[in-house]
Amino acid sequence: MSAHPNSAQPGAPPPALILQPERPQDGPLVDALIERAFGPGRYVKASERVREFATFAPELSVCAWSGERLLGCARMWHVRVGGQPVMFLGPFAVEQGERSAGFGARLVARACEAAQATGATHVVLVGDEPYFSRVGFATALGRQVILPGPVDQRRVLVRALTPDAGELVGPIEPA
């Protein structure tokens, strides 16, 4: 695996946090981070059912780097809800020792900005509203989004990316 292009020189201060789109060579490090963050239990979740048929969007997914060290990731996927093209965010993970650094919200916000720049109208995720509400997600727009498999509907969150985006209604399906 090649070194990250923003590597620091020996003896230099720690490099600044760099947020950038996920590259093909980042995949193994991202997968390892997700495994550490969620463990094998993630495979039984409804979000994993979505990722089985969704189309991965690495150009909209974001990695947080400090030199050669991957500190976090937010992956994005193309899906449809009720026939409307939208984005699905997840998994989102931050290294255990970095979770209070405050850049998790920056990762999610950057991924949403990338989706908005492509003309996407909504981003859907399954998560905790108190955490994700600070980056614009709410249950209100996701009340009628149907995920494959069982899910606590209060954890289905949506962020509207345009003022006239409206509520999503229907099942999540392949893009």
Q: What tens-digit pLDDT sequence spans the chain (175 residues)?
A: 334 444 445 555 556 889 999 999 999 999 999 999 888 777 778 889 999 999 999 999 999 998 899 999 999 999 999 999 999 999 999 988 777 667 789 999 999 999 999 999 999 999 999 999 999 999 998 899 999 988 999 999 999 999 999 899 999 999 9
| Residue 34 burial class via C-beta count within 10 angstroms: exposed 0-12, middle 13-18, buried 19 and up | middle
Beta strands in 3-152 (DSSP E): 17-21, 55-56, 62-66, 69-81, 84-94, 122-126, 144-146
| pTM for the structure as a whole | 0.87
Tokens of 51: 């990722």
Strand pairing partners for 136? none
CB 122 within 8 A of CB 175: no
